[in-house]
Amino acid sequence: MNWYRRFKFAQMMGLFHGEFWIDDSGTAMSADGDTDNMGHEAYVIDMILSKYGLGYESDNVDVGSSEGLEDYVRNNFEECVEALVSTGEWSEEDGEMAVIQPRDYAPSGQEWMDEAINDISLSSLLSYNGASEDEINMVCHNGDARLFAMKNWGWKRLEGLRVETWLLTPKDMKTISYGLYDAYGEEIPSEDENGDDLEIGVFVHSNQSFTHMTYADLESGSVQQKIDPITPATQDAYQNAVNEIDRPSNSYYKDWN
């Protein structure tokens, strides 16, 4: 084996680390929870909250924490009252009374404020703003937010040179190639250390299959790739490897097994 080729290949492969989301436009977003404090699930939660005006940038309040939710109620009292009434947690009469009472006048106004802070929940606010049940579940850590984003938004999960996607259509292939380029630039080699085509592993969740493709294949979006269904034993081995390599250290992965 050519020692120089092996050296250069090892050098280049050292660049392909970290974890990313690739959105449906092919933009890569760093999602390494250990270094960026924003893992894959955190991105999904933030996107859903922002969609309904509840993201941090909307009010400079982290509604995902109890303290942040309390601040949100204080800053958006009437909206929170409407949310409590619309979800049936408060009666219409209580809602009207809470709004009529002067909020800065103790004890009556403060009592209504305290009641709202005690009764409001993030799911109530999301439901009031029109979020779907699935979106609410993702924010409340009831399900796999990563699969949700891949299936509903067309996002791809990238770790090194391994990609996860819900589908693998020609459009998905091109999106993956754009994301690889955006994440790693022009450093993706066409050959491995043996001089063979460098292949990128792609796991397709919709049919539980795994395939290897070159960057050129993905970029063309027209290769008739062969995808073999994964056997239960192979799937178990794959999942065990993911659990060991990708075990998150941040608090967003509440559903991690």
Among candidate residues 249, 254, 246, the one with its CA nearest the CA of residue 64: 254
d(CA 254, CA 251): 6
Please give the order of strands across the beta sheet that includes 199-204: 28-30, 19-22, 156-159, 162-165, 199-204, 209-214, 228-229
Confidence of residue 32 (pLDDT cuts 50, 70, 90): confident
Most confident of 6-10, 54-58, 177-181: 177-181
For the record, the structure tokens of 253 come out as 């992965």
Read off the pTM.
Answer: 0.72
pLDDT single digits (tens) 61-107: 567 778 888 888 888 889 999 999 998 999 998 888 888 765 555 45
d(CA 223, CA 220): 7
Q: Quote the distance between the C-alpha of residue 91 and its chain's center.
A: 36
d(CA 99, CA 106): 14
d(CA 147, CA 169): 17
